[in-house]
Amino acid sequence: MIEAYSIRQFNTDDIRHVVQINKECLPENYPDQFFLGLHYHAPKAFLIAESNSRIVGYIMCRIERGISSFGRLPVKKGHIVSVAVLPTDRNKGIGTSIIKAGMNAMEEYGAVEFFLEVRKSNEAAVSVYESLGYEIRRVLRGYYRDGEDAYLMVAKASSVAKEGTDDERSN
């Protein structure tokens, strides 16, 4: 049976659940203030996944300015800072859905491209990102505290691709 799940915006009452999921799923953990700060700056891009009235996942993102990964000009970029789904609820499409929803929200803030860092060994996450159009741009040597390398992955926002502004047009 396919269990239903839903995605909604984070609110500050959810903080304990998100901190707990983050601790359970990732070695990169943060103080409450870090989560709340990201929420303050981009509330629409901090999302929660619920299944059977339980919080089972989250995504939090930051809007940054920097040189485009696809050109030379400064642009607004959406940074996926952290995303996780509880092990019991994985492989049901929740991760893909919440990342898509986070990307849509970042576009609402004006992001025209996205980026993230992911452990080289994290095959599940890399496969989800690739299915959403991300490509590995480079290896960040020793990025994590334990010395593991990260992939820097980048993607263009869909609206940019839809408008055919760059090299996305086929011939």
Ligand X SMILES: CC(C)(COP(=O)(O)OP(=O)(O)OC[C@H]1O[C@@H](n2cnc3c(N)ncnc32)[C@H](O)[C@@H]1OP(=O)(O)O)[C@@H](O)C(=O)NCCC(=O)NCCS
Residues that bind ligand X (CB under 6 A): 25-26, 83-85, 90-96, 116, 118, 122-125, 127-128, 131
Closest distance to ligand X from the beta carbon of 84 (Å): 4
Cβ proximity to ligand X: between 76 and 92 the closer is 92
Cβ proximity to ligand X: between 12 and 131 the closer is 131
Closest distance to ligand X from the beta carbon of 166 (Å): 26
| CA–CA separation, 122 and 143 (whole Å) | 14
Cβ proximity to ligand X: between 70 and 151 the closer is 151
Handedness of CA 89, 90, 95, 96 (dihedral sign): negative
Closest distance to ligand X from the beta carbon of 72 (Å): 27
